Structure 1
Amino acid sequence: MATIKRRYVFFADLRGSTALYETLGNAHATSVVTDVIRNLARRVPECGGQLVKTLGDGLMAVFPRAINAVTAAVQMQDDLERQPAPSDRPTPRVQLQIAISAGEVVEVGGDCFGDAVNVAARLLDHAGDSESLIGREVYDELPWEVRSRFRHLDKVHLRGRVEPAEVFLLARSKGPDTEVTHLESPSATHDALGVLLSWRGQPHRFLRDRMPVLLGRGAACGMKVEDARVSRTHARIDLMGGALQLTDLSINGTFVRFAGDDEVLSLRRGSCTLHGQGELGLGGSPNDASVATLRFSLIAHNDPPPPPFPPAAAPWQHR
């Protein structure tokens, strides 16, 4: 018999499991992934939730209250950070993506269906390594001291939905290999309206109503870049407080060169503030002609419409 209840839908997914299979082999990697998911899943009943199902390298759960779901997210992320390496030899570490939404769900035969389930599943596409994302309804029902730990990402366009959704990112303390890089030029623009991205000579304009924008090979990406070194969800550009922030979500890294600079900034699960014009190398330096490289140009308030990409005479352009 089907029942309809208001629930907080929770999806968690491991990133990097494919590389684990390549390094350890199918049997060993399967054992490692299964153990990790089983250990993470025990946090669901401990935090007052119900485990709906495991999904290979992920899980789905529902919780009666927002605080229960967020507590489970924090504990799972902490558990994974403390997880020992699965082998004596160097192996890629897996990262956890989490998404939580709120709404009525239909419970049938131990499974759950409904709009809140769809929203959580699609919100997961926008989460990066070790990131936990929640929707506006979840955020509004949290105690104020918990809400202070979240950062507003403005509105996100979810696959298959017409109206954009407000999304919040859980801010967590990061270790040395996930430390966020904040790089701002003295002339950085803090009243950005959007960004113009050019890939293979084709310009794409992303204004506030299309932010944040995902870069990568996946179907959920607003800026699709087909290249072997580009991850399914490679990077994300957020508009926060009038400034554009680029965040690397990839395996191979994102590399930034600003117009007029010879130095190339390497982002590996880090972030930087974009300003002016420049190039983004997805999976390698823009100095390497074989790397998928996008040109970017910020769109600022009261600026005239920018050209599709900087003038060919610009010294930093080499293609």
Structure 2
Amino acid sequence: MSQTVTCTILFADLRGSTSLYESLGNAEAATVVTHSVAVVARIMEGQGGRVIKTLGDGLMAMFPHPAGAVRAAEEVHDSLERVMGSARPSRSPVMRVQIAMAHGEVIEVAGDCFGDAVNVSARLLDHAGDNETLITSQTLAVLAPDVRERFRRLERLHLRGRVEPVEVWRFESKRSGPDPMSTMFGDTAPTTVPEGIRLVCEGVSRIHTVRNLPVIIGRSHEAAYCLDDSRVSRVHARIEWHSGNFQLTDLSSNGTYVRFGRQSEVVTLRRGACTLHGRGLICLGVSPNIINAPTVSFEVLRFDDTDPLPL
């Protein structure tokens, strides 16, 4: 027998398991992945959720209210870091978790769930970056005011199979301390706060401040910077203001590549993020070394300096 209920549907996905299998071997990697998924499931149930099904490296859970789902998401991010730190060698690849949730009516049939909230949550998961939790406006609306304050609006996304775009919000962790992105790849954090970022794409140059971020780069005509190239995903990457820096997050299938200044080294992002500093080149889908690669140039600015040099 089926019944209609109003609830929050949460999808969680562990990414990076492929590299883990290559590094640790099948037996050890399978143990780490299985243990990690089990930890996620226990957290969901501990916060009042019910695991509907496991999906390879992830799961689907159902909560009567989004407050429990938000608590579970935060605990998952913290717990997975501890699990990975104790279960893997220090130089092995790191798994990351992506979480998405949507609130609304669903139909329960034989222990499974169907409906718009299920579809939206599943497709929203594709847009989550490493260790991110994304929710819809409908989910945000039923949270307590103090919890809503911990979410930051991103943008309206076109999800596969839906005509109308969905407004998306990202959960901000309470964890304090320096932004790990500021020292990624051996870079030191800037001593002054950047005030703007210039982006140049296909001859069009714009300067963005904190107030008109985030911006989306991709193949979709809804993107702020649209590159009509088959190697570029519809929603390929996002640039936003995060922890006092301009942060680039890859949301694509083929990855995003960043070259800073005149350095020959290229930073590869696959559902990951890095802080943008100085000037450089963002390449979508392929390495900057490829001829005719789709690219966006960037320059981080301070407006009280002299006029920036042209890119």
Q: Please state which band the TM-score falls in when normalised by the shorter chain.
A: 0.7 to 0.9
Cα offset, 1:105, TM superposition: 0.8
The aligned counterpart of 1:246 is 248
Does 2:202 align with 1:190? no
SS at match of 1:124: helix
CA–CA distance in structure 1, aligned partners of residues 27 and 132 of structure 2: 28
Partner Cα separation in structure 1 for residue 86 and residue 213 of structure 2: 43
Deviations 1:95-153 (A, max 9, x none): 00000001111111111111110100000000011010000011111111111111101
Match of 2:67 in 1: 67
Letter in 2 for 1:179: M
1:179 matched to 2:174: no
SS at match of 1:37: helix
Superposed CA RMSD: 4.2
Who is 1:129 aligned against? 130
Quote the offset at 1:75 in angstroms.
0.7
Question: Does the alignment pair 1:37 with 2:49?
Answer: no
Q: CA deviation at 1:55?
A: 1.1
Measured at CA, do residues 114 and 284 of structure 1 come closer, stay the same or move farther in structure 2, by a change above 3 Å? Answer: closer
Residue in 1 that maps onto 2:203: none
Q: CA deviation at 1:18?
A: 0.8
Q: Distance in 2 between matches of 1:266 and 1:233?
A: 21
Matched, 1:28 2:25: no
User: Any stretches of 5+ residues in structure 2 without a counterpart?
Assistant: 184-188, 199-206, 299-308
Q: Which residue of 2 aligns with 1:270?
A: 273
Q: Distance in 2 between matches of 1:52 and 1:196?
A: 33
2:55 aligns to what?
55
Mapped partners of 2:77, 2:251: distance in 1: 16
Q: Deviations over 1:278-308 (max 9, x none)?
A: 631358873xx2488422379xxxxxxxxxx
Decide whether the 8 Å contact of 2:217 with 2:238 is kept in 1: no
Q: CA deviation at 1:155?
A: 0.3
**Alignment size in residue pairs:** 275
SS of the equivalent of 2:12 reads strand
Of 57-66 and 175-184, more deviation after overlay is shown by: 175-184
**Structure-1 residue corresponding to 2:186:** none
* 2:115 is equivalent to residue 81 of structure 1: no
Aligned residue in 1 for 2:306: none
Please tell me whether the aligned partners of residues 278 and 295 of structure 1 are also in contact (alpha carbons under 8 angstroms).
no
Q: C-alpha deviations, 1:28-47, integer Å up to 9, x for none? A: 21121111111111111211
Q: How does 1:7-18 map to 2 (within 5 A)?
A: 7-18=7-18
User: Which residue is equivalent to 1:229?
Assistant: none
The gaps in structure 1 that reach 5 residues or longer are 199-203, 216-221, 227-231, 299-313
Once residues 26 and 177 of structure 2 are traced to their aligned partners in structure 1, the CA distance between those partners, rounded to angstroms, is 29
> Deviations 1:151-189 (Å, cap 9, x if unpaired)?
101201111111100000111247778425898466742
SS state at 1:13 partner: strand
Asked if 1 retains the 8 angstrom alpha-carbon contact of 2:105 and 2:116, the reply is yes
CA contact (8 A) 1:282 1:292 kept: no
Contact 1:236 1:248 in 2 (8 A): yes
Partners of 2:224 and 2:64 in 1: CA distance: 31
Distance of 2:240 and 2:229 partners within structure 1: 16
3-state secondary structure, aligned to 1:44: helix
1:89-238 → structure 2 map (5 Å cutoff): 90-172=91-173, 173=175, 178-179=180-181, 184=194, 188=198, 189-190=207-208, 206=221, 209-210=222-223, 224-225=230-231, 236-238=237-239
| 8 Å contact kept, 2:108–2:114 | yes
User: 1:7 and 1:74 mapped to 2: Cα distance?
Assistant: 19
Give the conservation status (yes or no) of the 8 Å contact 1:3–1:108: yes
Check the 8 A contact 1:105/1:117 in 2, yes or no.
yes
If the length of structure 2 is used for normalisation, what is the TM-score?
0.72
